[in-house]
Structure 1
Amino acid sequence: MKCDANTFAQMYETVYKDLYRFALCIMKNQHEAEDAVSEAVIAAYENVRKLRNADAFKSWMFTILSNICKKKLKNATKEALCSWEDTYESFSVEEKDIGLLVDIRRAFFVLEEEEQIVIGLSVFGGYNSKEIGKMLSLNSNTVRSKRRRALQKMECVLR
């Protein structure tokens, strides 16, 4: 797709709030979310010629952002696990729940990209299936099915 800076900016303006909310829900940190969105915008702008249909811009941006968040969380989890191994014994019972968070993130990353986006927007972002369907150009029933299957996958990993 041929796209100049102004066209890209116009398309980005329609999704930037949703991108930030999604990243914030996934990253749980304002600065990390902002960094992830910035990286996604740069990556998208550099590769916008690969986008074949302007109508798919929103879902394409969410896919890019999801991949960036996934990479950042994976790296952060690896770093955290290394430091936790040394100090885990001194944590209180409440602090040991961090392991549960790691397990949930691990289960989240088992999902395919589109499933991650649906779960992220639904569970973390609070969007309903109709809103998610509109964002991703999917039928709301399809969104509900994808959400249910994704949650089942996560449940299997967490058992």
Structure 2
Amino acid sequence: MGAASEKDAEKIADAVRMAQKGSQDAFMELYQLFYHELYAYACYMLHHKQDAEDVVADTIVAAYESIGRLRDVYRFRQWLFKILSNKCRKKLKSYAERNKHHSRSFGGETKQDKDPDISDGKDLEKEATDREWVRDAFAVLTDEERYIVNSFLLAGYRGEEIAESLGIGASTLRSKYRRALMKMRKKLDP
């Protein structure tokens, strides 16, 4: 770990400690530091800006309410993203449920009865099914494996950053990443 990243990690840890003691200013500093990352991740996962904003807001509230239970102040970022990931997963599940309900509600119409410029919902249903399929593949992973895959593929972090955040070596990270992808591949291609 370089001197700059050690200094940054210590600054974040200090802010977390202060927030745990009730400092709203320290929590706001953390919020400002991570907001754009959280929002980008939520937008990528949900493909809907308003829902991403809502999920990030829910994440921040949950983090604020439970920061006192965070044991390792150096893992604040991972903890925050785990909360966000869970919130996104719940929102995606609600999308799938809503799409199933809409599919049943409009099931009797034929294509000729509809305006050609209005979606028949099959694209939304396919998208929800695809997301469910990917969620099922993610479900076979451990929390650490999900964090690794999400960090690489969705959040766009470099291997060194992910390895550092987990306190493991780069080669160990690469092995875990490959194993996680193989597990997902097995689930997707039975």
* 1:137 Cα offset (Å): 4.8
Do 1:44 and 1:64's aligned partners in 2 also have CA atoms closer than 8 Å?
yes
Do structure 1's residue 144 and structure 2's residue 163 form an aligned pair?
Answer: no
Q: Does 1:123 align with 2:142?
A: no
Give 1:128 shift. Answer: 2.2
Secondary structure of the residue aligned to 1:22 is helix
Query: Measured at CA, do residues 48 and 119 of structure 1 come closer, stay the same or move farther in structure 2, by a change above 3 Å?
Result: same
Aligned twin of 2:133: 103
Secondary structure (helix, strand or coil) at the match of 2:76 reads helix
1:97 Cα shift? 4.9
Specify the alignment match of 1:29 in structure 2: 48
One-letter code of the match for 2:88?
Answer: C
Deviations, residues 30-82 of structure 1 (Å, cap 9, x unaligned): 12211111111100000111012321211110111111111111222222234
TM-score, with structure 1 as normaliser: 0.80
How big is the alpha-carbon RMSD for the aligned residues of Structure 1 and Structure 2?
Answer: 2.8
8 Å Cα contact 1:37/1:65 also seen in 2: yes
Aligned pair count reads 158
CA distance in structure 2 between the aligned counterparts of 1:79 and 1:57, rounded to whole angstroms: 33
Q: Per chain length, whose mean CA-contact separation is higher, i.e. which structure has more relative contact order (CA < 8 Å, sep 6+)?
A: 1
After TM superposition, the score normalised by the length of structure 2 is 0.68
Post-superposition Cα deviations, 1:6-53, rounded to whole Å, max 9, x if no partner, equal 111222333222222222221122122111111111000001110123
Aligned to 1:48: 67
- Find the aligned partners of 2:167 and 2:59 in 1 and give their Cα distance: 20
Is the CA contact (8 Å cut-off) linking 2:42 and 2:88 kept in structure 1? yes
2:8 paired residue number: none
Percent of matched pairs sharing the same residue: 33
Q: How far does residue 116 in structure 1 lie from its aligned partner after superposition?
A: 2.4
Cα displacement (A) at 1:138: 4.4
Retained in 1: the 8 A contact 2:163–2:173?
yes
Indicate conservation of the 8 Å contact 2:75/2:165, yes or no: no
Aligned match of 2:102: 83
Cα distance 1:66–1:26, how it changes in 2: closer, same or farther (>3 A)? Answer: same
Q: Is 1:111–1:153's contact at 8 Å kept on the other side of the alignment?
A: yes
